Amino acid sequence: MQLSISLLEITRAIDSWLNSAFHPHVAYGIELVLAGVAVILLVVAMAILMVYAERKLAGFMQMRLGPMRVGKWGSMQAVADVMKLLLKECLVPTNSDKLMFRVAPFVVTIVSFMTLVPIAFAKGIQLWDINIGVFYITAVSSLSVIGILMAGWSSNNKYSLLGAMRSGAQIVSYELSGGLALIVVVMMSGTLSISGIVQAQADGWWVIKGHIPVIIAFVTFIITSTAELNRAPFDLAEAESELTAGYHTEYSGMQFAMFFLSEYTNMFVLSMVAATVFLGGWMPFHLAGLDGLNHFMDYIPGIVWFFGKTFFILFLIVWFRWTFPRLRIDQLLKLEWKYLLPVSIINVLFAAFIALMGWYL
């Protein structure tokens, strides 16, 4: 028996009420809007939270306090920043390609929201249980490079162009290892659907069950997702000390905030994917055979598990950022093509062999 009310019951209740009150088509439309609004609110709230958390964490890592004055413990700092950006003038440079310049931030933001679609937040809480969820995420998330290239090209600024080109090279290369890392788990669980992968981890997370190949895949995935996010130590696209601000050098106000938001959204999505695929998503910590432990873990609701894991990975990514120096562009590409990609390919072969023999736990 579960004491907590699961989110699934709440959504079911809303669904049945809407269906009884309205025509099913209308109800469906309302549900779509509600879900969309919920996701956007969640992302914006999490982005604000994350900005605050990152600044606080950075502060603590650097022996200082971080934001303190706005709200209790500076808790309203990120809110103030977002509001200021909203109210700031959006400049469009005279010699830029104005249409592309204005569209680019929307492209990047929409793409990052689109990747949220197949994520399972808790048991049954999923916008679209598509049967190719993992494939969908890898395919859609790489679209953001188009927005970045658009931004860099249309700004008519050489720093922006260099930043965008770097970003393009970086995202396209790191997609490969990232995809191969996901394939390892896909092979073992035998499904591309997110809910299927989560269900397959009911008796233990893949990172434990799949031992060596999955651990290698997990590490590869964290590295590649940091690179795909353009975050330090792979933040070459915006490398502040080299290219001032990279592809968004010319963006100001809300347009800049949208790049910022999309960066954070991508960060959540990739952390959520990592949490789902490798760390069991909303599945509690289960070990085959230990029923007492498994039963105890079930008392913690799935959404707590899910966000706990997500924040753990987010913390890792933040930790990287405030610790490592930046790589150079050729070293960055060398790391991918000479180390990560061969390792991933061999790892996939190894994982295939293990999956074939059924040697995972």
Interface residue list for another protein (CB under 8 A): 55, 58-59, 61-70, 74, 76-77, 79-81, 83-85, 87-91, 158-159, 162, 166, 232-233, 235-236, 239-245, 248-253, 256, 322-331
Least distance to another protein from the beta carbon of 150, Å? 17
Q: Please say whether the beta carbons of 113 and 173 come within 8 A.
A: no
Which amino acid, one-letter code, is at 184?
Answer: V
Give the burial string for 197-235 (b: 16+ CB within 10 Å, else e): bbebbeebbbbbbbeebbbbbbebbbbbbbbbbbbbbbb
* Spatial separation of the C-alpha atoms in residues 361 and 358, rounded to whole Å: 8
Least distance to another protein from the beta carbon of 110, Å? 22
Tokens of 271: 């952390």
Handedness of CA 36, 37, 38, 40 (dihedral sign): positive
For residues 159 and 221, which CB has a smaller minimum distance to another protein in the complex? 159
For residues 132 and 333, which CB has a smaller minimum distance to another protein in the complex? 333
* Spatial separation of the C-alpha atoms in residues 284 and 279, rounded to whole Å: 9
Least distance to another protein from the beta carbon of 112, Å? 20
* DSSP category for residue 63: T
For residues 118 and 250, which CB has a smaller minimum distance to another protein in the complex? 250
For residues 211 and 326, which CB has a smaller minimum distance to another protein in the complex? 326
For residues 186 and 327, which CB has a smaller minimum distance to another protein in the complex? 327
Q: How far is CA 298 from the centre of its chain?
A: 26
32, 88, 117, 302 from 7: Cα distances, Å: 17, 38, 17, 9
For residues 102 and 326, which CB has a smaller minimum distance to another protein in the complex? 326
* Spatial separation of the C-alpha atoms in residues 89 and 92, rounded to whole Å: 10
Least distance to another protein from the beta carbon of 61, Å? 6
Least distance to another protein from the beta carbon of 210, Å? 28
Least distance to another protein from the beta carbon of 289, Å? 40
Least distance to another protein from the beta carbon of 80, Å? 4
Least distance to another protein from the beta carbon of 263, Å? 14
- What residues have CB less than 8 Å from 288, skipping those under 6 apart? 203, 204, 361
Residue 9 has φ and ψ, to the nearest 5°, of: -65, -40
For residues 239 and 317, which CB has a smaller minimum distance to another protein in the complex? 239
For residues 28 and 322, which CB has a smaller minimum distance to another protein in the complex? 322
